[in-house]
Amino acid sequence: MDKIQLQILGISSGHTSTSYTLILEEMNGQRKLPVIIGAFEAQAIAIEIEKIVPVRPMTHDLIKAFADTFHITIKEVLIHKLQEGVFYASIICSGNGDVQHIDARTSDAIAIALRFKCPIYTYENIMLEAGIILNELEGEMRPISETEEEKKPRSKADLSGYKTEELEKMLEEALELENYVHAAKIRDEIKKRG
């Protein structure tokens, strides 16, 4: 099966206060792959995207340091299965001439992929089953298989109503609380005004 390379488009608030949606995007196409992840994993991904250095190393940073110390290379992350709404991923790594496939939660695998700057892949059947097309101009997302009548716009948190000074204070508070996902959203809004 041919693999499709993905890149991270962003993270948005999920349906609950403890979940987030990680949006992956195919490198040479329009399809997006939304993956529901927990708050801690969203934080681990966001701080690496934003290049925020936490006061103490997070678990994924520890894994990176461990792998580097023992000369283990992460070659790629592969999202290889979707079953009952759950994505399954493998971390493909090498060390001492051996290549190993290690089972991992997709969110953890992506957090590690970011730290190792390795590619993220999936298969066409997964994109067909769970992929969406995001129309940025109309602000809507829809599954690839959805008909025109079933399109429904989705809203997202809006920081545009705050003054820049308020955002800067909110950013400081979010960093102090180590809420890096929220800090990344605030930083993005400040950069837009830039």
Instruction: Please provide the size of the chain in residues.
Output: 194
- pLDDT tens, residue by residue, 34-87: 999 999 999 999 999 988 888 888 899 999 999 999 999 999 999 999 998 899
Indicate the pLDDT class of residue 27, thresholds 50, 70 and 90: very high
Structure tokens, 150: 């079933």
pLDDT per position as a tens digit, 134-150: 655 444 444 444 433 33
Block residue for tokens 């992956």: 24
- pTM, 2 dp: 0.70
Lowest mean pLDDT among 55-69, 99-113, 167-181: 167-181
Structure tokens at 61: 């940073």
Residues of the chain with CATH 3.10.690.10: 3-156
Indicate the CATH number for domain 3-156: 3.10.690.10
Q: Is 53 exposed, middle or buried (0-12, 13-18, 19+ CB in 10 A)?
A: exposed
Q: What is the distance in angstroms between the CA of the first residue and the CA of the last residue of the chain?
A: 44
